[in-house]
Amino acid sequence: MKKIVTIVGARPQFIKAAVLSRIIAQNNEIEEVLVHTGQHFDANMSAVFFDEMQIPEPIYNLGINTMNHGAMTGLMLQKIEEILDKEKPELVVVYGDTNSTLAGALAAKKMNIKIAHVEAGLRSFNMEMPEEINRILTDRISDLLCCPTKNAIKNLKQEGFDYFNCKVIQTGDIMKDAVKFYSVIASEKSSIITDLNLEQNKFVLATIHRQENTNSLEKLKTIFKGLEGINKKMKVIMPIHPRTKAILEKNNLKFNITFIQPVGYFDMLQLLKYCNLVVTDSGGLQKEAFYNKKACIIARQETEWIELVENNFAVICGANSGKIENAFERFQNVDLNFDKPLFGNNVGDKIYNEILSIL
C-alpha cells in the first residue's frame, strides 16, 4: 500500500485535510500519516475536537510555535525531515500558505519525495505578506498543484509553470466540501445563536486579525471606526482574535461593537449561516461567507479570491471606514445570486484521484 504524509499546522488546514482523509479512509488504497507542526496553538484542539470533527488525531505533534518565522520554519524542516526519513512516504501533502506548508514541502523536496500542494496558484501580489512567500516557494517545488480557481491556473501560467516538470490541475476549493459537510453537524452541535440571542439576518459578523492591520494602530482604528458606523444600523459581532485583543488592551482602545471570545468551527459556521454579511481580513472566511450565501467586505488592500470581487459578492475596502460603511449600505440594497459555480464541486474526490495518478 502506498503511503503519504500530510503536514498541517493550523485549524483551517485540519478542516481541509479532513475532507481528503475521509476519502482516503473510505477507499483503503493509501496509508496516511498525519503530522501536526503545532504552528497555531489552539486550546480547542483536544481529543473532543478531533472526535467531533471526525478527523484522525495526528500521529506526530511537533509543538512548534511562538517563534520567529526563520526559527519556526527551520525547526519544522528539521523535525519533518526526521519523520519522513522514518515513515518513507511516496508523497507529502501540504495545504495553503503557512510556515508549516513551506517547511513540509522543503523537507520532502530535499529528500526527493513527491509533493502535492492543495490551494496552489493563489496570489495576493503582496510580497510583504509571509503567506505570499510561502505559497510561491511551495508551488515552485511541488509535483502536483491542485488549483482552486481559473485565476490560480492563470497565475501559474504567467509564472512559467507550463515549462516546469509538474502537473497543474484545477480541482476547485476543498473548503467548499468542508463547509457542506460540517454545516449539517454544526446545526446540531452549536447553540451560539440562541446563547447570544441573535436574530437571523440582523447582525454583521466581523473578524480582524492580520498583521498588516493589527501592526498599524492607524489602520486598526480606522477599520473599527467603520465597524462602529455599521453597528449604529445593525449589531456587529466580533469573535476577538488573541492578537487583536492584546493590541486593543495594550493601547486602551475601546470600540462600540459586541466582542465575544474566539469560537470553534461549528459556532463560526452557525454565525455565518445566520448573519447578514461578513467584514473580515481573513482569506478563508471570504469563501465561507460565499458558501453561506453572504456578501463580504474585505478589510485588506487585496484578495487571493478575486472571483468574489469580480462577481460582486465581495468588495475590497482596505482600512477605510467610509468604504466599509458604504459597502454595508450597498449590500443591503442588492440581490445577489450565490448559485454561480465559482469554486467547483466534489473537490476532495478530484484531489484524491489526482494524487493516485502520480503515486
- Catalytic site positions: 209
Whether residue 308 contacts residue 314, with contact meaning beta carbons closer than 8 Å, is answered with yes
Q: Identify the CA nearest to 96 among candidates 184, 37, 23, 163.
A: 37
Q: Identify the CA nearest to 16 among candidates 179, 184, 190.
A: 179
Which residues have a Cβ under 8 Å from the Cβ of 158 and sit 6 or more positions away? none
CB atoms within 10 A of CB 143: 18
Whether residue 314 contacts residue 303, with contact meaning beta carbons closer than 8 Å, is answered with yes
d(CA 220, CA 244): 9
Distance between alpha carbon 101 and the CA centroid of its chain, in Å?
Answer: 12
d(CA 20, CA 356): 12
d(CA 237, CA 235): 7
**CA triple 239-128-145, angle to 5 deg:** 85
Q: Is the dihedral of CA 289, 294, 300, 301 positive or negative?
A: positive
For 41, phi then psi, to 5°, come to -70, 125
Q: Angle at which helices 217-231 and 321-332 pack, to 10 degrees?
A: 30
d(CA 297, CA 314): 6
Q: What is the largest CA-CA distance in the chain?
A: 60
Reduced to 3 states, what is the DSSP secondary structure of residue 345? Answer: coil
d(CA 232, CA 124): 32
